[in-house]
């Protein structure tokens, strides 16, 4: 929505915020989509169900 956010910025934010109990793999799918794989179920539930996520004032839409 307007200005683009660098993939590295998003990946760094996701790594810092969502990986408390396991590992994560973040993949750039192009066309403003990213995919991530979380090893720990707790991290997965946290990423899916917690507060709205923002990176540099841009909201991430998180879907299963």
Residue written as token pair 């989509």: 33
User: Looking at residue 40, what is its pLDDT?
Assistant: 87
Tokens representing 37 are: 């794989």
Calpha distance 34→8 (Å, rounded)? 11
pLDDT at position 23 is 84
CA angle (61, 23, 57) in 5-degree steps: 30
How much is the pLDDT for 2? 62
Confidence label for 57 from pLDDT (cuts 50, 70 and 90): confident
Instruction: Record the pTM.
Output: 0.61
pLDDT digits (tens, 9 = 90+) for 28-53: 888 778 888 888 888 888 888 887 77
pLDDT confidence of 1, banded at 50, 70, 90?
Answer: low
């Amino acid at each position: 929505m307007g200005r683009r956010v660098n993939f590295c910025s998003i990946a760094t934010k996701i790594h810092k915020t969502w990986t408390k109990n396991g590992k994560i793999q973040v993949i750039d799918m192009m066309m403003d989509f990213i995919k991530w794989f979380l090893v720990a179920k707790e991290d997965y539930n946290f990423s899916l169900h917690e507060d709205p996520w923002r990176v540099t004032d841009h909201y991430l839409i998180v879907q299963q």
